Chains A and B, each alone.
Chain A
Amino acid sequence: MFKWFGMVNFTPYTRVAEFAAHLKDGRIMASRCSACGARSFPPRADCAACMAREFEWMEISGRGTLHTFTTIAAAPTGFERYAPYTVGVVDLEEGGRALAWLGGTIPSGEIAIGMTLQLVPRIEEDVEEIRVFYSLERPGTTWSKAGAATVGERQAPPAAAGARRREQV
Protein backbone atom coordinates (compact mmCIF):
# COMPACT_ATOMS: atom_id res chain seq x y z
CA MET A 1 0.00 0.00 0.00
CA PHE A 2 3.00 2.32 0.16
CA LYS A 3 2.53 2.80 -3.57
CA TRP A 4 -0.32 5.10 -2.54
CA PHE A 5 2.13 7.57 -1.05
CA GLY A 6 3.07 10.57 -3.21
CA MET A 7 2.00 11.81 -6.64
CA VAL A 8 5.00 9.96 -8.03
CA ASN A 9 6.07 6.98 -5.96
CA PHE A 10 9.47 5.31 -6.31
CA THR A 11 9.26 2.82 -3.42
CA PRO A 12 6.06 0.72 -3.42
CA TYR A 13 7.48 -1.85 -0.98
CA THR A 14 8.75 -1.06 2.48
CA ARG A 15 8.54 -2.43 6.02
CA VAL A 16 6.63 0.71 6.98
CA ALA A 17 4.01 0.38 4.22
CA GLU A 18 1.18 0.68 6.78
CA PHE A 19 2.11 4.35 7.06
CA ALA A 20 0.16 5.04 3.87
CA ALA A 21 -2.94 3.24 5.19
CA HIS A 22 -2.86 5.33 8.35
CA LEU A 23 -2.41 8.46 6.27
CA LYS A 24 -5.43 7.54 4.15
CA ASP A 25 -7.42 7.32 7.39
CA GLY A 26 -6.22 10.75 8.46
CA ARG A 27 -3.42 9.81 10.85
CA ILE A 28 0.24 10.85 10.72
CA MET A 29 2.30 8.11 12.31
CA ALA A 30 5.86 7.99 13.58
CA SER A 31 7.71 4.85 14.60
CA ARG A 32 8.90 4.01 18.11
CA CYS A 33 11.50 1.32 18.77
CA SER A 34 10.07 -1.40 21.03
CA ALA A 35 13.48 -2.02 22.58
CA CYS A 36 14.95 1.41 23.27
CA GLY A 37 12.01 3.73 22.65
CA ALA A 38 13.77 5.80 19.98
CA ARG A 39 11.23 7.68 17.86
CA SER A 40 11.60 8.37 14.19
CA PHE A 41 9.88 10.51 11.64
CA PRO A 42 9.92 9.58 8.85
CA PRO A 43 9.17 6.17 10.38
CA ARG A 44 11.62 3.30 10.07
CA ALA A 45 11.21 -0.37 10.90
CA ASP A 46 14.77 -1.07 12.01
CA CYS A 47 16.10 1.05 14.84
CA ALA A 48 18.98 3.36 13.93
CA ALA A 49 19.91 3.77 17.58
CA CYS A 50 20.03 0.16 18.85
CA MET A 51 19.41 -1.91 15.68
CA ALA A 52 16.35 -3.67 17.18
CA ARG A 53 13.87 -4.95 14.59
CA GLU A 54 10.62 -4.44 16.55
CA PHE A 55 8.73 -1.17 16.40
CA GLU A 56 5.34 0.31 17.24
CA TRP A 57 3.30 2.93 15.44
CA MET A 58 2.74 6.18 17.29
CA GLU A 59 0.32 8.87 16.13
CA ILE A 60 1.76 12.40 16.15
CA SER A 61 0.09 15.79 15.93
CA GLY A 62 2.16 16.84 12.94
CA ARG A 63 2.76 20.28 14.42
CA GLY A 64 6.14 21.79 13.79
CA THR A 65 8.13 24.86 12.84
CA LEU A 66 9.33 25.68 9.36
CA HIS A 67 13.08 25.06 9.15
CA THR A 68 13.63 26.06 5.53
CA PHE A 69 11.81 26.13 2.19
CA THR A 70 12.17 26.72 -1.54
CA THR A 71 9.87 27.40 -4.45
CA ILE A 72 10.73 25.07 -7.29
CA ALA A 73 10.30 26.53 -10.79
CA ALA A 74 12.21 23.87 -12.73
CA ALA A 75 10.27 20.68 -11.96
CA PRO A 76 11.33 17.09 -12.58
CA THR A 77 9.36 14.45 -14.50
CA GLY A 78 5.85 13.96 -13.10
CA PHE A 79 5.68 17.34 -11.37
CA GLU A 80 5.58 19.70 -14.35
CA ARG A 81 1.87 20.48 -13.96
CA TYR A 82 2.34 21.59 -10.34
CA ALA A 83 5.24 24.00 -10.93
CA PRO A 84 6.03 26.36 -9.41
CA TYR A 85 5.45 24.70 -6.04
CA THR A 86 6.93 25.31 -2.61
CA VAL A 87 8.47 22.56 -0.49
CA GLY A 88 9.39 23.08 3.13
CA VAL A 89 11.20 21.17 5.86
CA VAL A 90 9.61 21.29 9.32
CA ASP A 91 11.04 20.38 12.69
CA LEU A 92 8.23 18.35 14.26
CA GLU A 93 7.23 19.02 17.86
CA GLU A 94 7.25 15.30 18.57
CA GLY A 95 10.69 14.77 17.05
CA GLY A 96 12.06 14.27 13.59
CA ARG A 97 11.52 16.30 10.46
CA ALA A 98 9.24 16.17 7.46
CA LEU A 99 9.54 17.49 3.93
CA ALA A 100 6.29 18.39 2.21
CA TRP A 101 4.51 20.84 -0.03
CA LEU A 102 3.27 24.04 1.53
CA GLY A 103 -0.49 23.91 1.07
CA GLY A 104 -3.20 26.34 0.10
CA THR A 105 -3.87 27.56 3.65
CA ILE A 106 -0.48 29.32 3.68
CA PRO A 107 -0.41 32.42 1.46
CA SER A 108 2.98 32.58 -0.23
CA GLY A 109 3.64 36.07 1.13
CA GLU A 110 3.40 34.75 4.68
CA ILE A 111 5.93 31.94 4.37
CA ALA A 112 8.72 32.49 6.88
CA ILE A 113 11.27 30.31 8.63
CA GLY A 114 10.17 29.69 12.22
CA MET A 115 6.44 29.84 11.51
CA THR A 116 4.27 27.14 13.08
CA LEU A 117 2.77 24.70 10.60
CA GLN A 118 0.97 21.41 10.71
CA LEU A 119 1.49 18.31 8.62
CA VAL A 120 -1.98 17.37 7.37
CA PRO A 121 -2.99 14.06 5.75
CA ARG A 122 -4.29 14.50 2.22
CA ILE A 123 -5.95 12.46 -0.48
CA GLU A 124 -5.70 13.42 -4.15
CA GLU A 125 -9.27 12.98 -5.33
CA ASP A 126 -8.79 13.87 -8.95
CA VAL A 127 -7.18 10.59 -9.88
CA GLU A 128 -8.74 7.13 -9.94
CA GLU A 129 -6.07 5.26 -8.04
CA ILE A 130 -5.53 6.02 -4.35
CA ARG A 131 -2.91 8.76 -3.89
CA VAL A 132 -2.16 9.99 -0.40
CA PHE A 133 0.30 12.60 0.76
CA TYR A 134 0.63 15.24 3.44
CA SER A 135 1.00 18.98 3.15
CA LEU A 136 2.09 21.74 5.48
CA GLU A 137 -0.85 23.87 6.53
CA ARG A 138 -1.99 26.44 9.04
CA PRO A 139 -2.22 24.75 12.47
CA GLY A 140 -5.65 23.33 13.15
CA THR A 141 -6.36 22.56 9.50
CA THR A 142 -8.08 19.21 9.07
CA TRP A 143 -9.29 17.31 6.08
CA SER A 144 -11.76 14.48 6.32
CA LYS A 145 -11.28 11.55 4.01
CA ALA A 146 -14.06 12.80 1.77
CA GLY A 147 -13.14 16.45 1.75
CA ALA A 148 -9.51 16.24 0.86
CA ALA A 149 -9.39 19.08 -1.59
CA THR A 150 -9.75 22.67 -0.50
CA VAL A 151 -12.33 25.00 -1.99
CA GLY A 152 -11.54 25.98 -5.53
CA GLU A 153 -8.51 23.72 -5.71
CA ARG A 154 -9.77 20.79 -7.72
CA GLN A 155 -7.16 20.80 -10.47
CA ALA A 156 -4.01 20.33 -8.46
CA PRO A 157 -2.95 19.90 -4.86
CA PRO A 158 -3.25 23.21 -2.99
CA ALA A 159 0.51 23.35 -2.70
CA ALA A 160 0.80 24.13 -6.36
CA ALA A 161 -1.81 26.85 -6.30
CA GLY A 162 -0.34 28.32 -3.15
CA ALA A 163 3.04 28.54 -4.73
CA ARG A 164 1.78 29.99 -7.97
CA ARG A 165 2.04 33.47 -6.54
CA ARG A 166 5.77 33.77 -7.06
CA GLU A 167 7.56 34.32 -3.82
CA GLN A 168 9.62 37.48 -3.38
CA VAL A 169 13.32 36.98 -2.75
Chain B
Amino acid sequence: MSRVGIVGIGHTAFGRRSDATVQELAFDAFAEALHDAGLERDAVDASVIAAVPEYHKQRSLAGVVQEYLGLCPKPTWLVEVACASGSAAIRTAWLAIRAGVHDVVAVIGCQKMTELETAEVLALMGRVGEVQWESCFGTTFPAYYAMFARRHMHEFGTRPEHLNGVAVKNHHYGALNPLAMFRKEITAEKAAASDPVASPFHVYDCCANADGAACVILASESRAREMSTRPVWLAGMGCGSDSMSVLRRPHLTGLPSAERAAAEAYAMAGVGPRDIKVADVHDCFTIAEIMAYEDLGFCAKGEGGRFIAERESYIGGRLPVNVDGGLKAKGHPIGATGVSMTYEIAKQLRGDAGERQVPGADVGLTHNVGGIGQYCFVQVLARD
Protein backbone atom coordinates (compact mmCIF):
# COMPACT_ATOMS: atom_id res chain seq x y z
CA MET B 1 0.00 0.00 0.00
CA SER B 2 1.45 3.36 -0.97
CA ARG B 3 2.16 5.96 1.64
CA VAL B 4 0.75 9.42 2.22
CA GLY B 5 3.13 12.33 2.64
CA ILE B 6 2.94 15.75 4.26
CA VAL B 7 4.05 18.26 1.64
CA GLY B 8 3.06 21.60 3.16
CA ILE B 9 2.46 23.01 6.65
CA GLY B 10 1.07 26.26 8.04
CA HIS B 11 0.17 27.57 11.50
CA THR B 12 -1.17 30.84 12.90
CA ALA B 13 -0.22 32.20 16.29
CA PHE B 14 -2.48 30.68 18.97
CA GLY B 15 -4.09 32.83 21.64
CA ARG B 16 -6.83 35.40 21.94
CA ARG B 17 -7.29 36.37 18.29
CA SER B 18 -9.86 39.14 18.45
CA ASP B 19 -8.25 40.47 15.27
CA ALA B 20 -9.71 37.84 12.94
CA THR B 21 -12.66 35.59 12.15
CA VAL B 22 -12.24 31.85 12.11
CA GLN B 23 -12.14 31.76 8.30
CA GLU B 24 -9.52 34.49 8.27
CA LEU B 25 -7.36 32.44 10.63
CA ALA B 26 -7.92 29.38 8.42
CA PHE B 27 -6.83 31.47 5.42
CA ASP B 28 -3.50 32.32 7.07
CA ALA B 29 -2.69 28.70 7.87
CA PHE B 30 -3.77 27.45 4.43
CA ALA B 31 -1.87 30.16 2.52
CA GLU B 32 1.28 29.39 4.50
CA ALA B 33 0.93 25.66 3.84
CA LEU B 34 0.41 26.21 0.10
CA HIS B 35 3.47 28.44 -0.02
CA ASP B 36 5.45 25.92 1.99
CA ALA B 37 4.46 23.17 -0.46
CA GLY B 38 5.16 25.37 -3.47
CA LEU B 39 1.68 24.58 -4.75
CA GLU B 40 -0.94 26.56 -6.60
CA ARG B 41 -4.35 26.48 -4.95
CA ASP B 42 -5.79 24.61 -7.95
CA ALA B 43 -3.61 21.61 -7.12
CA VAL B 44 -5.70 20.93 -4.01
CA ASP B 45 -8.35 18.29 -4.81
CA ALA B 46 -10.35 18.51 -1.59
CA SER B 47 -10.29 19.99 1.90
CA VAL B 48 -11.18 18.56 5.27
CA ILE B 49 -12.08 21.03 7.99
CA ALA B 50 -11.65 20.22 11.68
CA ALA B 51 -13.60 22.34 14.15
CA VAL B 52 -15.95 21.86 17.07
CA PRO B 53 -19.15 23.61 16.00
CA GLU B 54 -20.63 24.65 19.34
CA TYR B 55 -17.97 27.31 19.91
CA HIS B 56 -18.80 29.27 16.78
CA LYS B 57 -21.60 31.67 15.99
CA GLN B 58 -21.24 30.53 12.37
CA ARG B 59 -22.91 27.19 11.88
CA SER B 60 -21.68 24.59 9.36
CA LEU B 61 -18.15 25.88 9.34
CA ALA B 62 -16.76 23.96 6.35
CA GLY B 63 -18.82 26.10 3.98
CA VAL B 64 -17.57 29.45 5.17
CA VAL B 65 -13.95 28.29 5.30
CA GLN B 66 -14.16 26.71 1.85
CA GLU B 67 -15.60 29.92 0.40
CA TYR B 68 -13.05 32.19 2.07
CA LEU B 69 -10.14 30.01 0.94
CA GLY B 70 -11.46 30.11 -2.63
CA LEU B 71 -11.68 26.33 -2.83
CA CYS B 72 -15.26 26.03 -4.11
CA PRO B 73 -16.45 23.89 -5.89
CA LYS B 74 -13.94 21.28 -4.71
CA PRO B 75 -15.15 18.69 -2.19
CA THR B 76 -15.07 19.64 1.48
CA TRP B 77 -16.39 18.22 4.73
CA LEU B 78 -16.25 18.88 8.44
CA VAL B 79 -14.87 16.40 10.94
CA GLU B 80 -15.64 16.58 14.64
CA VAL B 81 -14.61 14.37 17.55
CA ALA B 82 -14.16 17.00 20.26
CA CYS B 83 -10.50 17.86 20.97
CA ALA B 84 -9.30 15.14 18.57
CA SER B 85 -11.05 16.66 15.54
CA GLY B 86 -7.77 17.72 13.94
CA SER B 87 -6.26 14.25 13.89
CA ALA B 88 -9.58 12.76 12.81
CA ALA B 89 -9.60 15.16 9.86
CA ILE B 90 -6.07 14.09 8.94
CA ARG B 91 -7.23 10.49 9.16
CA THR B 92 -10.12 11.04 6.75
CA ALA B 93 -7.82 12.85 4.32
CA TRP B 94 -5.35 9.96 4.59
CA LEU B 95 -8.19 7.51 3.93
CA ALA B 96 -9.34 9.45 0.87
CA ILE B 97 -5.82 9.47 -0.56
CA ARG B 98 -5.20 5.82 0.26
CA ALA B 99 -8.49 4.96 -1.41
CA GLY B 100 -7.28 6.68 -4.56
CA VAL B 101 -10.18 9.12 -4.60
CA HIS B 102 -8.07 12.26 -4.10
CA ASP B 103 -4.36 12.93 -4.65
CA VAL B 104 -3.85 16.19 -2.75
CA VAL B 105 -5.95 17.11 0.29
CA ALA B 106 -5.66 20.16 2.55
CA VAL B 107 -6.55 19.56 6.19
CA ILE B 108 -7.42 22.73 8.06
CA GLY B 109 -8.05 22.77 11.80
CA CYS B 110 -9.50 26.05 12.99
CA GLN B 111 -11.26 27.26 16.08
CA LYS B 112 -12.28 30.45 17.80
CA MET B 113 -13.12 29.76 21.40
CA THR B 114 -12.84 33.21 22.90
CA GLU B 115 -15.85 34.69 21.14
CA LEU B 116 -18.24 32.91 23.51
CA GLU B 117 -19.60 34.72 26.56
CA THR B 118 -18.43 33.37 29.92
CA ALA B 119 -21.95 32.11 30.64
CA GLU B 120 -21.94 30.11 27.40
CA VAL B 121 -18.54 28.64 28.25
CA LEU B 122 -19.78 27.61 31.70
CA ALA B 123 -22.88 26.00 30.21
CA LEU B 124 -20.78 24.05 27.71
CA MET B 125 -18.38 23.05 30.50
CA GLY B 126 -21.28 21.40 32.31
CA ARG B 127 -22.00 19.10 29.37
CA VAL B 128 -18.52 17.68 28.77
CA GLY B 129 -19.28 14.39 30.48
CA GLU B 130 -22.01 11.85 29.94
CA VAL B 131 -25.13 13.95 30.54
CA GLN B 132 -27.64 11.34 31.75
CA TRP B 133 -25.80 10.07 34.85
CA GLU B 134 -22.82 12.38 35.39
CA SER B 135 -23.36 15.97 34.26
CA CYS B 136 -26.39 16.19 36.54
CA PHE B 137 -23.90 16.23 39.43
CA GLY B 138 -22.05 19.27 38.08
CA THR B 139 -19.03 17.49 36.63
CA THR B 140 -16.60 19.50 34.54
CA PHE B 141 -13.80 18.74 32.10
CA PRO B 142 -11.06 19.41 34.70
CA ALA B 143 -12.99 17.36 37.27
CA TYR B 144 -12.72 14.20 35.18
CA TYR B 145 -8.99 14.50 34.67
CA ALA B 146 -8.66 15.46 38.34
CA MET B 147 -10.30 12.13 39.22
CA PHE B 148 -7.82 10.34 36.94
CA ALA B 149 -5.02 12.22 38.71
CA ARG B 150 -6.29 11.32 42.17
CA ARG B 151 -6.48 7.63 41.28
CA HIS B 152 -3.06 7.72 39.59
CA MET B 153 -1.60 9.27 42.73
CA HIS B 154 -3.27 6.61 44.86
CA GLU B 155 -2.06 3.64 42.82
CA PHE B 156 1.39 4.80 41.76
CA GLY B 157 2.50 7.46 44.22
CA THR B 158 2.37 10.21 41.62
CA ARG B 159 2.72 13.56 43.41
CA PRO B 160 1.55 17.14 42.92
CA GLU B 161 5.20 18.05 42.15
CA HIS B 162 5.04 15.72 39.14
CA LEU B 163 1.93 17.48 37.88
CA ASN B 164 3.59 20.86 38.36
CA GLY B 165 6.69 19.54 36.58
CA VAL B 166 4.69 19.02 33.40
CA ALA B 167 3.39 22.60 33.52
CA VAL B 168 6.89 23.98 34.15
CA LYS B 169 8.35 22.03 31.22
CA ASN B 170 5.64 22.98 28.78
CA HIS B 171 5.83 26.66 29.70
CA HIS B 172 9.61 26.45 29.31
CA TYR B 173 9.19 25.33 25.70
CA GLY B 174 6.21 27.59 25.08
CA ALA B 175 8.50 30.50 25.87
CA LEU B 176 10.63 29.40 22.90
CA ASN B 177 7.72 29.02 20.48
CA PRO B 178 6.73 32.25 18.70
CA LEU B 179 3.29 30.76 17.91
CA ALA B 180 2.47 29.88 21.54
CA MET B 181 -0.23 31.61 23.57
CA PHE B 182 1.87 31.81 26.75
CA ARG B 183 5.50 32.68 26.18
CA LYS B 184 6.61 32.84 29.80
CA GLU B 185 8.46 30.44 32.03
CA ILE B 186 6.69 29.53 35.26
CA THR B 187 7.96 28.03 38.50
CA ALA B 188 6.61 24.97 40.28
CA GLU B 189 5.81 27.23 43.24
CA LYS B 190 3.69 29.51 41.06
CA ALA B 191 1.85 26.52 39.61
CA ALA B 192 1.18 25.09 43.07
CA ALA B 193 -0.07 28.42 44.39
CA SER B 194 -2.51 29.12 41.56
CA ASP B 195 -6.27 29.06 42.20
CA PRO B 196 -7.93 25.68 42.79
CA VAL B 197 -10.08 24.37 39.92
CA ALA B 198 -10.90 20.75 40.82
CA SER B 199 -8.64 19.13 43.39
CA PRO B 200 -5.82 18.26 42.99
CA PHE B 201 -5.77 20.66 40.02
CA HIS B 202 -4.99 24.33 40.11
CA VAL B 203 -5.21 26.76 37.21
CA TYR B 204 -1.74 25.80 35.98
CA ASP B 205 -2.74 22.16 35.64
CA CYS B 206 -5.20 23.15 32.91
CA CYS B 207 -4.68 24.25 29.33
CA ALA B 208 -6.39 27.39 28.10
CA ASN B 209 -9.11 27.92 25.50
CA ALA B 210 -7.58 29.65 22.50
CA ASP B 211 -8.14 30.77 18.94
CA GLY B 212 -6.04 29.65 16.02
CA ALA B 213 -5.65 27.56 12.90
CA ALA B 214 -3.20 25.05 11.47
CA CYS B 215 -3.00 23.36 8.09
CA VAL B 216 -1.22 20.37 6.62
CA ILE B 217 -1.37 19.46 2.94
CA LEU B 218 -1.24 15.72 2.27
CA ALA B 219 -0.42 14.00 -1.00
CA SER B 220 -0.20 10.49 -2.37
CA GLU B 221 3.30 9.01 -2.36
CA SER B 222 3.92 9.59 -6.06
CA ARG B 223 2.65 13.18 -5.97
CA ALA B 224 4.53 13.87 -2.74
CA ARG B 225 7.79 12.75 -4.33
CA GLU B 226 7.15 14.94 -7.39
CA MET B 227 6.42 18.07 -5.43
CA SER B 228 8.63 17.80 -2.37
CA THR B 229 12.28 17.09 -1.75
CA ARG B 230 11.66 16.31 1.91
CA PRO B 231 8.19 14.88 2.49
CA VAL B 232 7.30 13.62 5.95
CA TRP B 233 5.36 10.35 5.84
CA LEU B 234 2.29 9.34 7.80
CA ALA B 235 3.94 6.02 8.58
CA GLY B 236 1.53 4.72 11.21
CA MET B 237 -2.07 5.73 11.82
CA GLY B 238 -3.86 4.43 14.91
CA CYS B 239 -7.28 5.18 16.31
CA GLY B 240 -9.34 3.98 19.25
CA SER B 241 -12.46 4.84 21.23
CA ASP B 242 -13.83 4.34 24.71
CA SER B 243 -17.01 4.82 26.70
CA MET B 244 -18.41 8.30 27.12
CA SER B 245 -18.96 7.53 30.79
CA VAL B 246 -16.11 7.10 33.27
CA LEU B 247 -18.40 4.61 35.00
CA ARG B 248 -17.86 2.12 32.16
CA ARG B 249 -14.05 2.30 31.94
CA PRO B 250 -11.83 -0.65 32.89
CA HIS B 251 -9.62 1.68 34.97
CA LEU B 252 -9.15 5.38 35.63
CA THR B 253 -5.36 5.63 35.50
CA GLY B 254 -4.92 5.92 31.75
CA LEU B 255 -6.75 5.91 28.45
CA PRO B 256 -7.35 2.50 26.85
CA SER B 257 -8.24 4.28 23.60
CA ALA B 258 -4.70 5.69 23.54
CA GLU B 259 -3.12 2.30 24.19
CA ARG B 260 -5.08 0.84 21.31
CA ALA B 261 -4.31 3.72 18.94
CA ALA B 262 -0.63 3.54 19.82
CA ALA B 263 -0.40 -0.21 19.26
CA GLU B 264 -2.04 0.19 15.86
CA ALA B 265 0.20 3.10 14.83
CA TYR B 266 3.41 1.39 15.96
CA ALA B 267 2.46 -1.83 14.16
CA MET B 268 1.66 -0.03 10.91
CA ALA B 269 4.89 1.95 11.03
CA GLY B 270 6.93 -1.07 12.08
CA VAL B 271 8.46 0.81 15.01
CA GLY B 272 8.18 0.82 18.78
CA PRO B 273 8.22 3.52 21.46
CA ARG B 274 12.02 3.37 21.65
CA ASP B 275 12.27 4.50 18.02
CA ILE B 276 10.35 7.72 18.67
CA LYS B 277 12.68 10.73 18.90
CA VAL B 278 10.13 13.47 19.55
CA ALA B 279 6.43 13.51 20.44
CA ASP B 280 3.52 15.91 20.79
CA VAL B 281 0.99 14.52 23.27
CA HIS B 282 -2.40 15.75 24.43
CA ASP B 283 -1.63 17.56 27.69
CA CYS B 284 -5.05 19.16 28.18
CA PHE B 285 -4.28 18.67 31.89
CA THR B 286 -0.95 17.90 33.51
CA ILE B 287 -1.96 14.35 34.44
CA ALA B 288 -2.90 13.73 30.80
CA GLU B 289 0.73 14.09 29.74
CA ILE B 290 1.88 11.73 32.51
CA MET B 291 -0.73 9.14 31.48
CA ALA B 292 0.31 9.61 27.83
CA TYR B 293 3.93 8.67 28.65
CA GLU B 294 2.58 5.39 29.99
CA ASP B 295 -0.17 4.71 27.44
CA LEU B 296 2.31 5.29 24.59
CA GLY B 297 4.95 3.04 26.15
CA PHE B 298 7.51 5.83 26.70
CA CYS B 299 7.82 4.42 30.22
CA ALA B 300 6.24 1.62 32.23
CA LYS B 301 2.78 1.94 33.74
CA GLY B 302 2.98 4.02 36.91
CA GLU B 303 6.38 5.50 36.02
CA GLY B 304 5.03 8.64 34.36
CA GLY B 305 5.62 10.84 37.39
CA ARG B 306 9.24 9.74 37.58
CA PHE B 307 9.64 10.30 33.81
CA ILE B 308 8.96 14.02 34.21
CA ALA B 309 10.74 14.29 37.56
CA GLU B 310 13.91 12.94 35.93
CA ARG B 311 13.51 15.32 32.97
CA GLU B 312 13.25 12.42 30.51
CA SER B 313 10.74 14.43 28.44
CA TYR B 314 13.02 17.46 28.05
CA ILE B 315 15.33 17.87 25.05
CA GLY B 316 18.36 15.83 26.03
CA GLY B 317 16.21 13.35 27.93
CA ARG B 318 15.08 9.94 26.74
CA LEU B 319 12.16 11.25 24.68
CA PRO B 320 11.40 14.98 24.35
CA VAL B 321 7.66 15.64 24.62
CA ASN B 322 5.72 18.79 23.77
CA VAL B 323 8.74 20.92 23.00
CA ASP B 324 6.36 23.33 21.24
CA GLY B 325 4.76 24.12 24.62
CA GLY B 326 1.98 21.55 24.33
CA LEU B 327 -1.64 22.43 24.78
CA LYS B 328 -0.65 23.85 28.15
CA ALA B 329 1.46 26.77 26.91
CA LYS B 330 0.78 26.82 23.16
CA GLY B 331 -2.99 27.03 23.79
CA HIS B 332 -5.75 24.64 22.80
CA PRO B 333 -8.04 25.84 19.99
CA ILE B 334 -9.67 22.45 20.02
CA GLY B 335 -10.32 21.92 16.29
CA ALA B 336 -6.81 23.10 15.40
CA THR B 337 -4.88 21.17 18.04
CA GLY B 338 -4.42 17.84 16.26
CA VAL B 339 -3.29 19.55 13.06
CA SER B 340 -0.95 21.72 15.11
CA MET B 341 0.65 18.57 16.55
CA THR B 342 1.27 17.13 13.09
CA TYR B 343 2.63 20.53 11.98
CA GLU B 344 5.10 20.54 14.88
CA ILE B 345 6.34 16.99 14.39
CA ALA B 346 6.70 17.50 10.61
CA LYS B 347 8.74 20.60 11.38
CA GLN B 348 10.92 18.65 13.81
CA LEU B 349 11.51 15.84 11.29
CA ARG B 350 12.53 18.38 8.66
CA GLY B 351 14.97 19.91 11.13
CA ASP B 352 13.25 23.30 11.01
CA ALA B 353 12.33 23.73 14.69
CA GLY B 354 15.09 26.21 15.50
CA GLU B 355 15.82 26.64 19.21
CA ARG B 356 13.48 23.77 20.04
CA GLN B 357 14.96 21.34 17.51
CA VAL B 358 15.42 17.80 18.81
CA PRO B 359 18.75 16.57 17.38
CA GLY B 360 18.49 13.56 15.09
CA ALA B 361 14.67 13.53 15.00
CA ASP B 362 13.80 11.09 12.20
CA VAL B 363 10.71 9.40 13.67
CA GLY B 364 8.09 11.31 15.66
CA LEU B 365 4.66 10.78 17.14
CA THR B 366 1.44 12.68 17.78
CA HIS B 367 -1.20 11.70 20.35
CA ASN B 368 -4.49 13.59 20.13
CA VAL B 369 -7.27 12.81 22.59
CA GLY B 370 -10.94 13.72 22.27
CA GLY B 371 -12.89 14.53 25.42
CA ILE B 372 -11.72 12.38 28.31
CA GLY B 373 -10.40 9.61 26.07
CA GLN B 374 -13.60 8.77 24.21
CA TYR B 375 -11.46 9.16 21.08
CA CYS B 376 -7.74 8.88 20.55
CA PHE B 377 -5.64 9.21 17.43
CA VAL B 378 -1.94 8.37 17.30
CA GLN B 379 0.27 9.10 14.30
CA VAL B 380 3.82 7.90 13.74
CA LEU B 381 5.59 10.24 11.33
CA ALA B 382 8.86 9.45 9.57
CA ARG B 383 11.18 11.01 7.05
CA ASP B 384 13.14 9.17 4.37
Interface residues of A, Cβ cutoff 8 Å to B: 5-11, 14, 41-42, 67-79, 82-85, 87, 89, 96-101, 113-114, 133, 166-167, 169
Contacts and interface: CB of A to CB of B under 8 A. Distances in A.
B131 A10 contact: yes
Contact of B199 (A79, A97, A167): A167
Interface in B134-149: 134-140, 142-143, 146-148
A6 B197 CA distance: 22
B138 A78 contact: yes
Given A72-B143, A114-B154, 20 more contacts: A5-B136, A6-B136, A8-B126, A8-B135, A10-B131, A11-B131, A68-B154, A70-B143, A72-B139, A73-B199, A74-B142, A75-B140, A76-B126, A77-B123, A77-B125, A79-B126, A89-B247, A98-B133, A99-B137, A101-B137
B184 to A, nearest CB: 22
A99 B131 contact: no
List 6 tightest A-B contacts by C-beta distance, closest first. Answer: A6-B136, A76-B126, A79-B138, A70-B146, A10-B131, A97-B247
Which residue, B139, B142, B195, has most C-beta atoms of chain A within 10 A? B139
A4 B256 CA distance: 34
A71 B138 contact: no
10 contacts: A8-B126, A9-B136, A67-B151, A69-B150, A70-B201, A87-B139, A98-B247, A99-B137, A99-B139, A99-B246
B338 to A, nearest CB: 25
A72 B151 contact: no
Interface residues on B, range: 35 or more
Interface of B: 119, 122-123, 125-127, 131-140, 142-143, 146-148, 150-151, 154, 160, 195-201, 245-248, 252
Contacts of A101: 137
B247 A8 contact: no
Provide the main secondary structure of the chain A interface: loop
Contacts of B245: 42
Contacts of B198: 70-74
Contacts of A133: 136-137
A14 B246 CA distance: 20
Contacts of B150: 68-70, 113
B204 to A, nearest CB: 13
A96 B246 CA distance: 11
A89 B154 CA distance: 14
Nearest to B249: A97
Contact of A10 (B119, B136, B140, B196): B136
A75 B103 CA distance: 47
A76 B125 contact: yes
Contacts of A89: 147, 246-247, 252
Given A68-B252, A99-B246, A169-B200, A77 B119 contact: yes
Contacts of A14: 132
B125 A10 contact: no
Nearest to A43: B133
A72 B140 contact: yes
B128 to A, nearest CB: 8
Contact of A169 (B122, B148, B154, B160): B160
Nearest to B192: A169
A166 B167 CA distance: 24
Contacts of B126: 8, 76-79
Given A96-B247, A99-B137, A74 B197 contact: yes
Nearest to B142: A74
A7 B140 contact: no
Nearest to A96: B247
Contacts of B196: 71, 73, 84, 166
